[in-house]
Amino acid sequence: MTADGPSTHEPTHLVSVATPQDIPDILTLQSENQLSSGGTLSAEFPAQWFENVMKDMPIVIARRCGQLVGYLVSSSQGATRHLVLNQAKYRAYPAGPEAYNSGPLCIAASERGRGLALRLFDAQRSLLRGREGVAFIRRDNTASRAVHAKYGFREVAEFSHAGIDYLVASYRGEMQRDRTSS
């Protein structure tokens, strides 16, 4: 899709739509960002789930120097219907039938704070124009809450599961985020 980066000689991010060949790298980044590894991802998905999702909706990825450094999943409500956290999300906020799951969003530790999450959201939005994206975020994940808010997500509901508080955040594909504070 696009490549950008600082005006220095620092390598740029290449943002594109994932293919099945990207799944091993997605799984590696996912593993590195699980709660058990000190990360903040709330769910772990197998390769088959990613493969099934990308047949239905886009997964946007970013690479720097050939290495996968970020991904943002788009999935239908049906693709996650079996997951307890998504069931709780849609009970707390009954989105319309065209709404999709925005997330998980995963950024390599080395790339955080460089605007990559916003670029992935831009790519997702360009592919799913006019549709509502719905995410859930752990209430204590202030970094994720901030990047979602910066992009234009509104916190619309909350729920608890297994003693952990979550927020439901929503945005419409045509919304414009505040680019003056990027």
Q: What are the structural domain ranges in the chain?
A: 10-131
Angle made by CA atoms 136, 142, 147, in degrees to the nearest 5: 70
Query: So what's the pLDDT on residue 132?
Result: 95
| Burial class of residue 73, CB neighbours in 10 A (0-12, 13-18, 19+) | buried
- The alpha carbon of 72 is separated from its chain's Cα centroid by a whole number of angstroms, namely 4
Which CATH number is correct for 10-131, 3.40.630.30, 3.40.50.10860, 3.40.109.10, 3.40.50.12140? 3.40.630.30
Confidence of residue 156 (pLDDT cuts 50, 70, 90): very high
Question: Per-residue confidence at 174, pLDDT binned at 50, 70, 90?
Answer: low
CA angle centred on 174, ends 169 and 178, rounded to 5°: 70
- Which residue has better confidence, 90 or 81? 90
Per-residue pLDDT reduced to its tens digit, 94-142: 999 999 999 999 999 999 989 999 999 999 999 999 899 999 999 999 9
- What is the tens place of the pLDDT at every residue in 48-58? 999 999 999 99
**Phi (first) and psi of residue 169, to 5 degrees:** -125, 145
- Among the ranges given (22-31, 49-58, 119-128, 165-174), the one the predictor scored with the smallest mean pLDDT: 165-174
Mean pLDDT of 81-99: 92
Mean pLDDT in the chain? Answer: 88
Mean pLDDT of 89-95: 95
Q: What residues contact residue 5 under an 8 Å CB cut-off, 6+ apart?
A: 11, 12, 13
The CA–CA distances, whole Å, from 167 to 6, 58, 150 equal 33, 24, 16
Mark out the alpha helices in the chain (DSSP H runs).
23-32, 47-56, 84-92, 116-127, 142-151
> What is the pLDDT, as a whole number, of residue 43?
83
Give the model's pLDDT for residue 7: 43
Cα–Cα–Cα angle for 176, 180, 182, rounded to 5 degrees? 90
What percentage of the chain has pLDDT greater than the value 90? 73
What pLDDT does 24 receive?
A: 98
Question: At which residue do the structure tokens 């234009």 appear?
Answer: 152
Q: Is the peptide bond before 24 cis (omega within 30 degrees of 0)?
A: no
